[in-house]
Amino acid sequence: MEHRSLGNTGLSVSILGYGASPLGGVFASIDEREGIRAVHTALDAGINYIDVAPYYGLTRAETVLGQALSGIPRERYFLATKVGRYGENLFDFSPQRIERSIDESLTRLGVEYVDLLQCHDIEFTDLRYIIETTLPALQRLRERGKFRFIGITGLPLKIFQQVLARSEADTILSYCRYTLADSSLADLAPTLAERGIGIINASPLAMGLLSLRGAPAWHPADAAVKNACRKAAELCAARGYPIEKLAVQFAIRNRAIHTTLVGTASPAHIANNIQWASEPIDEELLAEVLALLEPIHNRTWIQGRTENN
């Protein structure tokens, strides 16, 4: 599998990363043994970047992932987790809580360190606190050797611009903002590249929008976006080319995106994603789908504090 440098971190990461949130039963009930097999399938096929968080399944994803990684040489993978978000509406980015959080995560994961520690969904809190208190605390904690690099994550692109204008981070994780329907992350990529900041793209299927099954009932996208994405999925199905395949291929073809996370607790599904990454994209179908989605292109939704959107 192709690898790219994650900004200035020195980490050479696979263009597909494993997003471990499904291991927490976030989207559906899972067979933990199948989830563990999915992790092993990913690693055996060359995926070397794994992303998780204590929020996913309220610590269950980290626990299951720790079981999956048990006995696997630590040098085979780069591991990222997060701090700050611990429930649907439970956020705590204080230095005291993040220090406890990293120790708790290391215990669940069964490792001595993670490669990347990220502030999780910072749009839900006061960005001044992140800039003035949380990130400086992480810089100090890094000296203890429990994590190597620092990142920030969230949905609104505005948060990355505001935080990075006044502080330092090694990576950003953006989700649903580099997809067939919304590629606005590409506008920010040159600025990030100039600063050597790694770019992690999550949810290339836009949380289920770009799937034949369609968006779940809770999805925050408006009706126009959902309808357009459904039509795009139906077009791909009629051509015998899953929109999920097209979406993954579209995301990884942009070299400014260093890794794209695909999340599943199914060995078969992760194997499909890996196979798709090795195949050429159907350029004609891609052009048709992008044209169909043009009326709703880059339309997103509000998440977190109003001032952070």
Distance CA 102, CA 138 (A): 10
Distance CA 293, CA 279 (A): 23
Distance CA 246, CA 5 (A): 24
Structural Rg of the chain based on CA atoms: 18
* Distance in angstroms between the alpha carbons of the first and the last residue of the chain: 36
The residue type at 85 = R
Distance CA 214, CA 234 (A): 10
86 is catalytic: no
What six digits make up the tokens of 13?
Answer: 């990461």
Residues 165 and 186 sit within 8 Å (Cβ to Cβ): no
Distance CA 37, CA 18 (A): 13
Catalytic member of 49, 55, 56, 77: 56
Cβ-defined contacts of 266-271 (< 8 Å, 24+): 266/34, 266/38, 267/34, 267/37, 267/38, 267/40, 267/41, 269/38, 270/18, 270/38, 270/41, 270/42, 270/45, 270/47, 271/41, 271/45
Catalytically annotated residues: 56
